[in-house]
Amino acid sequence: MATISASAASQLDQSALKFLEHGHRLLINGKWVKAESGRTFPTYNPANGEVLSNVAEGDKADVDAAVKAAREAFDHGPWRKFTASERGRMIWKLADLLEQHTEELATLESLDNGKPLTIARAADIPLAVDMLRYMAGWTTKIEGNTIPISVPYTPGARYHAFTLREPVGVVAQVIPWNFPLLMACWKIGPALAAGCTIILKPAEQTPLTAIRLGELIQEAGFPAGVVNIVTGFGETAGAALAAHPEVDKIAFTGSTEVGKLIVHAATGNLKKVTLELGGKSPNVVMKDADLDIAIPGAASAIFFNHGQCCCAGSRLYVHKSIFDRVVEGISTEAKNICVGPGWESASQLGPLVSEEQLNRVKGYIDAGLIEGACALTGGKQIGEKGYFVEPTVLVKTTKNMKVVREEIFGPVVAAMPYDTLDEVAEEANDSSYGLAAGIWTNNLAKAHSLAAALRAGTVWVNCYNIFDAALPFGGYKESGWGREMGHNAVDAYTETKSVCMKVA
C-alpha cells in the first residue's frame, strides 16, 4: 500500500485496505452508479498527504436522481408499509453489521480522518452501533395522544380528537469530517426510526466510511431508495440538496457559516431544518476543584480528536488563585501527548484532517501571538509531511482576541484567569456560540448555580465529552437549531397531525 509502510499495513485490517483499492460510486435507488458527469475526486491520508482512494463526484444531476429515488421510496415503496417492529429489527441488524466490521470501519476512519485507530476502535464505532440500537427501540414508541376538547360554539356536540406522529418525508443529511461514521449514524438513526427516506452527503474530506455504511445498509436489506449516498462537494452537491424542492427536511452538522447558507437555501419550499453547528465552549476550573481530575480533564476537553470537536473546551477560565498551577499542568499534559499517524499504536493525537485545516489552525495561532498572546507550549507545525500541529496552550489572552472569539477547530486552548462566579458566568456567556461548557468544582451549590447561568446546550460537571444516545445534544444561539440524540432527535423527523371526528 503506497500511503503507509508495508510493515504498518500488515498490522491493519486487510479488508479495509482492499476497500481502498477500487474506485467508489454513488448509492442511488439501491444501485452503485457513477456520477452523471463521470468525474471523481481523491480522498487523502492526512498523516502524509497522499491519496487513499478515488470517489465519485456527485453534483446537482446526481442529487436530483437521489431525491427522486427517495421520493419514490417514501411515497410508493414498501418502506411505508413496514411495521414499526420491522423497521426496528432492520435498524438493529444494521447495528450488528457495524459491530461485526468494527476493525475494518475503525481502520478506514483512522486512515481517512487521521484519528488514532485506538480511538476509532474504542469510541467512534461503538458509539455508532449504540446509536442505531437506541433508535431501533424508538420505532415502536412513536405515539400520538387522545385529547379531550371543548368547543364553545358547538354546544352539546361530542368529538373524538387525537394526534398522529408521521414521518416528515424525504430528508437530506449533510455530515462533517470530524466523526464521519458516528455523525452519519446520529443522522440516519432517528430518520429511519421515524420512517423517513434519506439522501446522505458525507464530507468530501472523509467519504469512505459512509460508502462502506451504504454497503452494509444494502446487506441489512433496506429497500431500494430508502438510503441514498451522494459523495461530492458542499458547494455543488450540498447546495443542491439544501435547495431541492422535493426535500422535506435538511439536517446539517458543520460550521455556523455554512449552516446560515443552508437556512437561506431551505426557504424555497420552507423545508424543515435542524442544525448542529460550531462552538467556542467555556471550561471553568474553580478554586476548590480536584486538580488531579480537573487538569487532565481540561486537557482532554481541548486536545481530544485533535481539537476538532465542535464542543471542544477551547476557552479555559481558571480561578486566579490556581491559574499558574492549572495552566502549567495542562501544558505538561500537552507536552506528553504522543502525536503521530493514527495507525501507530502509541499515537494519542493524529494529524488535522486536511492541509486547509492545518493552515487555518496555524493562522489562528499566528493571529493570537500577533495580538499579544503567549504560547506556554506548542504553537508550531510538526514535520513537513502530513498535517500535524503541536497541542497548544495560549496565555495572556483577552476576550477580544480572535483566538478567544472564533472557533479554531484545532488543539489550541486560550487560558484566562477569573475572580468571581458572576464574572466567569458573564465571560463564559460572552460568545455568539452556546454549544457546551465544562465546570470543575467540589462545591455542589456552585456547580448548580453556574450550570443554570450558562447558556449552553450541554454542561458537563467534573467530566467532559460524555455522550450517550439517550442524552440530547445541541446548541443555544449560533450553535444550532434542534437536538441530536434522545427522543428529541426522533421528534425532529416527524410531523404532528391532529384528527378530529364528530361522534355525537
Catalytic residues: 276, 310
Please return the burial class of 5, using the count of CB atoms within 10 Å of its CB with bins 0-12, 13-18 and 19+. Answer: exposed
Query: What is residue 264's DSSP assignment?
Result: H
How far, in Å, CA of 166 to CA of 400, rounded? Answer: 47
How far, in Å, CA of 242 to CA of 252, rounded? Answer: 9
Strands 388-389 and 381-382, by their bridges, are antiparallel
With a CB cutoff of 8 Å and minimum separation 6, the contacts of 75 are none
Q: And the C-alpha cell for 213?
A: 455504511
Q: And the C-alpha cell for 471?
A: 442524552
How far, in Å, CA of 250 to CA of 63, rounded? Answer: 13
The count of other CB atoms within 10 Å of the CB of residue 399 is 12
How far, in Å, CA of 216 to CA of 124, rounded? Answer: 17
How far, in Å, CA of 491 to CA of 114, rounded? Answer: 34
For residue 88, the surrounding DSSP H or E stretch is helix 84-100
CA 503 to chain centre: 48
With a CB cutoff of 8 Å and minimum separation 6, the contacts of 280 are 314, 315, 404, 405, 406, 407, 431, 432, 433
Which residue, among 317, 300, 303, 297, has the nearest Cα to 430 in the 3D structure? 317
How far, in Å, CA of 384 to CA of 490, rounded? Answer: 45
For residue 497, the surrounding DSSP H or E stretch is strand 494-502
CB 14 within 8 A of CB 44: no
CB 261 within 8 A of CB 293: no
Q: What DSSP string runs through 183-213?
A: HHHHHHHHHHHHT-EEEEE--TTS-HHHHHH
How far, in Å, CA of 203 to CA of 348, rounded? Answer: 24
With a CB cutoff of 8 Å and minimum separation 6, the contacts of 156 are none
Which CA distances in Å does 122 have to 105, 188, 420? 12, 21, 39
Helix/strand/coil for 85: helix
The count of other CB atoms within 10 Å of the CB of residue 296 is 14
